[in-house]
């Protein structure tokens, strides 16, 4: 994060902390006469910071748009973002600070599977809404976690889309996997193995790396022996880019397929010209397709918030989360509680966000979120694979 961006972030945080001290109307935590306070714990600094920063930008853009129209039932939506560096222990500490010291109403835009696994027990025990986590982990889709509000497809659904494309469209049979050695990576691994098994296939090779590092050489040595036709990747943009570059330096050019959590735009920037042909699965619409009202509204909101920002898959997902939170609060009525917000979300289950339908809760079973594949072009832009 640049010095000016850091200063802006700190100033916003101080302002939001001041707002959090306003006297509450009624007994609900985080709800004052004129504001509702949300909290976000995500990687804002460090090797995965682009993910947390972009999620935050999208959420704040949505809140700024809503507040410009008078807020929700007369209250402005505000956000405190705290940095966990994509580390589970720090995520626990920051979550507790948001809940106990900042006294936020709900959590939104958390980033990561291992961090979510560490913090979900805290939020579930306190029945705190956990809205729009940036993770497709299967455990978050457990119906025994009614406080979790997912808007994105699962990693299992992404894995199915990868394997379907690689085996049916490309006719590949030798597929390897490069994954982060933790709950996030293993969730992706399970999804890939299941998708292959449905087609009578097994993985050709596996290689892992440690979270928050770029130590990928050992994984490449393990995988290259199998001479895979394709390698699916379950990690963040830094190590995935390092792995692809290492393979290319070794004279190997398999088809690379990345999970949406990678941070597609950040990956393309890291790879530069070497990104051409790399596939990334996506769980939100094209952030540049202004023919969709959702995307046009997102772009307008982001520009109003910060004219220097460019469209991005991750910030669009943050924007969707922010808009969903606002839509659910409208349904919850003029005296919102955590319980009434969750009840509204689960009872409605289907929200029209600028003409695009977002399904949540039980509705996701019958109408699961979409997954589509994109490919990085030579100039770093993206094109849908089905138009390739």
Domains of the chain: 33-152+286-353 (3.40.50.2300), 153-281+370-382 (3.40.50.2300)
For residue 37, the cross-strand partners are: 78
* Mean pLDDT to the nearest integer, 66-93: 98
- Distance from the Cα of residue 47 to its chain's centroid: 16
Let me know: does 23 contact 286? Beta carbons within 8 Å.
no
The two structure tokens encoding residue 282: 């996506």
For 77, list phi and psi in degrees, rounded to 5: -95, 130
Residue 369: the pLDDT is 92
**Can you give the pLDDT at residue 386?**
65
Asked if pLDDT for residue 143 goes beyond 90, the answer is no
pLDDT at 4 over 50: no
- pLDDT in the model for residue 3: 37
Q: What is the mean pLDDT of residues 273-281?
A: 97
Backbone angles phi, psi at 311, to 5 degrees: -60, 150
Chain centroid, CA 43 distance in Å: 11
Task: Find out whether 177 and 205 touch, Cβ atoms under 8 Å.
Answer: yes
Which pLDDT score is estimated for 23? 37
- Please report, rounded to a whole number, the percentage of residues in the chain having pLDDT higher than 90: 89
How many CB atoms sit inside 10 A of residue 348's CB?
16
Q: What are the residues facing 79 on neighbouring strands? A: 38
What are the phi and psi torsion angles at 114 (to 5°)?
A: -60, -35
Sheet of 35-42, strand order: 76-83, 35-42, 106-108, 130-131, 148-149
Backbone angles phi, psi at 135, to 5 degrees: -165, 145
> For residue range 287-341, what is the model confidence (pLDDT) as tens digits?
999 999 999 999 999 999 999 999 999 999 999 999 999 999 999 999 999 999 9
Find out whether 345 and 87 touch, Cβ atoms under 8 Å.
Answer: no
Q: Which residues, 6 or more positions from 15, have their beta carbon under 8 angstroms from its beta carbon?
A: none
CB 388, CB 375: distance < 8 Å = yes
Mean pLDDT of 192-218: 98
pLDDT at position 205, please? 98
Bridge partners of residue 176, in order along the sequence = 205, 231
Check: CB of residue 53 under 8 Å from CB of residue 93: no
Averaged pLDDT, 169-189 = 98
Give the mean model confidence (pLDDT) for residues 105-112: 98
What's the whole-number average pLDDT of the chain? 92
Tokens of 230: 């394709």
Asked if 327 contacts 353 with a C-beta cutoff of 8 angstroms, the reply is yes
Cα separation, 252 vs 171, in Å, equals 19
The rounded Cα 304 to chain-centroid distance in angstroms is 22
Give the CA angle between residues 118, 158, 63 to the nearest 5°.
60
Residue 13 has what pLDDT? 41
**Rounded mean pLDDT, 361-377:** 90
Beta bridge partners of 275: none
Q: Is the pLDDT of residue 387 over 70?
A: no
Say how far apart CA 150 and CA 164 lie, in whole Å. 24
The pLDDT of residue 253 is above 80: yes
Model-level pTM?
0.91
pLDDT at 388 over 80: no
**Residue 69: other Cβ atoms inside 10 A:** 8
Q: What is the pLDDT of residue 24?
A: 39
pLDDT at 367: 86
Which has the higher per-residue pLDDT, 258 or 18? 258
φ and ψ at residue 200, rounded to 5 degrees: 70, 25
Question: Which pLDDT value is given to residue 15?
Answer: 40
Residues in the chain: 388
Residues 345 and 339: their CA atoms lie apart, in Å, by 10
pLDDT tens digits, one per residue of 6-28: 433 433 443 444 344 443 344 79
Angle in degrees, CA 90, 95, 96, rounded to 5: 100
Alpha helices in the chain (DSSP H): 3-20, 49-68, 88-96, 113-125, 155-164, 183-197, 217-224, 237-249, 264-271, 293-305, 313-332, 338-348, 363-366
């Amino acid at each position: 994060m640049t010095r000016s961006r850091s200063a802006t972030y700190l100033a916003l945080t101080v302002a939001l902390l001041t707002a959090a001290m306003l006297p509450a109307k009624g007994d609900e935590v985080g709800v004052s006469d004129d504001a509702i306070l949300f909290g976000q714990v995500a990687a804002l600094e460090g090797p995965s910071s682009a993910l947390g920063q972009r999620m935050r930008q999208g959420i704040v853009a949505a809140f700024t748009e809503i507040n410009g129209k008078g807020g929700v039932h007369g209250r402005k939506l505000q956000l405190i973002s705290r940095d966990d560096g994509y580390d589970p222990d720090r995520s626990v500490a920051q979550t507790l600070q948001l809940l106990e010291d900042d006294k936020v109403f709900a959590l939104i835009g958390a980033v990561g599977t291992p961090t979510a696994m560490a913090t979900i027990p805290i939020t579930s025990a306190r029945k705190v809404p956990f809205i729009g986590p940036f993770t497709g982990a299967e455990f978050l889709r457990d119906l025994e976690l009614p406080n979790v509000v997912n808007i994105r497809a699962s990693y299992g659904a992404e894995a199915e889309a990868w394997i379907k494309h690689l085996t049916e469209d490309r006719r590949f049979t030798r597929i390897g996997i490069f994954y982060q050695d933790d709950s996030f990576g293993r969730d992706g691994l399970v999804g890939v193995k299941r998708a292959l098994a449905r087609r009578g296939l097994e993985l050709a090779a596996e290689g892992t790396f440690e979270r928050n590092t770029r130590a990928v050489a050992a994984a490449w040595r393990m995988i290259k022996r199998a001479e895979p036709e394709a390698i699916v990747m379950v990690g963040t943009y830094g190590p995935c880019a390092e792995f692809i570059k290492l393979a290319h330096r070794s004279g190997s050019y398999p088809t690379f397929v990345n999970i949406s959590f990678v941070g597609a735009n950040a990956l393309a920037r890291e790879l530069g010209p070497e990104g051409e042909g790399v596939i990334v699965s996506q769980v939100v619409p094209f952030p540049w397709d202004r023919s969709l009202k959702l995307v046009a509204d997102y772009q307008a909101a982001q520009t109003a918030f910060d004219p220097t920002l460019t469209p991005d898959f991750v910030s669009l997902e943050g924007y969707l989360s922010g808009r969903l939170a606002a839509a659910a609060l409208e349904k919850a009525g003029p005296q919102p509680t955590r319980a009434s917000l969750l009840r509204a979300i689960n009872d409605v289950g289907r929200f029209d966000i600028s003409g695009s339908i977002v399904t949540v809760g039980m509705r996701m079973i019958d109408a699961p979120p979409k997954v589509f594949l994109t490919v990085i072009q030579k100039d770093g832009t993206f094109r849908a694979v089905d138009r390739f």
